[in-house]
Amino acid sequence: MTSTEEAPSSFWDELTSPLNLVLVAVILYLVYKILRSHFESEDTTAAPPPPPMKKLRKDLTTAELKKYDGTGSDGRVLLAVNGVIFDVTRGKRFYGPGGPYSAFAGKDATRGLATGSVSADDKEWDDVSDLNADEISSAKEWEEQFREKYDIVGRLLKPGETPNKYSDDETEDKKEL
Ligand code: HEM
């Protein structure tokens, strides 16, 4: 080794070099900030969760259903499958404004779900009688999935149909729709 060459620095020398000490300090500070914000968001400073939404029990026409696309003041989102209207507000990240399935919000989603197309049109009534067997069974599967996950609101009314009367009695929910 010549006198101009420096002795190879040890790992400890590297670690305690001024630049690295500054970097370590920055990292520790950032970790502290992240941990603090994490714990803060979990305790008292967090806003209380919104009160649960009142259950809606109502038969609606396609035009009435349209109002429930998540942009209303209460933010409620409804959609219909096979003539049954579901309250999908809990799935707002899917159906709410800007969500991947927002095209279904406030709409009869039967055709879209049956055919795998994230779209719904503004027909007053779509009788979906042109769907093939696979599409019909696909729509049926979606309906079953929705029945398990979401509350039923009522039936989607064909033009001229009259709405059912629902009482506030919870047992009414068990009524077959
Ligand atoms: C590349 C294709 C697709 C991918 C990767 C995809 C992925 C997903 C994922 C990850 C979820 C969330 C599941 C969960 O967290 O429970 C979801 C939900 C959903 N997808 Fe898709 N999807 C696709 C295509 C479609 C198509 C074509 C439709 C219907 C036309 C569709 C309808 C839905 C619906 C309705 C939900 C929400 C279900 C609920 O409310 O729980 N998806 N999708």
Q: One-letter amino acid identity for 47?
A: A
Question: Of 78, 61, 102, 62, nearest to 151 (Cα)?
Answer: 78
CA distances from residue 114 to 71, 100, 119, 146 in whole angstroms, order as listed: 25, 17, 11, 14
Q: Where are the domains of the chain?
A: 11-42, 60-174
Q: Is 135 in the pocket of ligand 1 (CB under 6 A)?
A: no
Tokens describing residue 158: 């064909």
Sign of the torsion formed by the C-alpha atoms of 118, 140, 167 and 127: positive
- Segment (H or E) for 43: none
Q: Judge contact between 152 and 173, C-beta under 8 A.
A: yes
CATH number of the structural domain 60-174: 3.10.120.10
Tokens describing residue 109: 């989603």
* Phi, psi (rounded to 5 degrees) for 61: -80, 165
Q: Is 125 in the pocket of ligand 1 (CB under 6 A)?
A: no
The alpha carbon of 118 and the centre of ligand 1 are apart by a number of angstroms equal to 9
Please state whether beta strands 151-157 and 60-61 pair in parallel, antiparallel, or not at all (unpaired).
parallel
88-97: string of b/e by CB count within 10 Å (b at 16+)?
Answer: bbebbeebbe
The alpha carbon of 99 and the centre of ligand 1 are apart by a number of angstroms equal to 11
Q: Is 13 helix (H, G, I), strand (E, B) or coil?
A: helix
Task: Please list the pLDDT of the chain residue by residue as tens digits (177 residues).
Answer: 444 555 566 767 776 788 888 888 888 888 888 788 666 655 555 667 667 789 999 999 999 999 999 999 999 999 999 999 999 999 999 999 999 999 999 999 999 999 999 999 989 999 999 999 999 999 999 999 999 999 999 999 999 999 999 987 665 555 567
Tokens describing residue 30: 């950032």
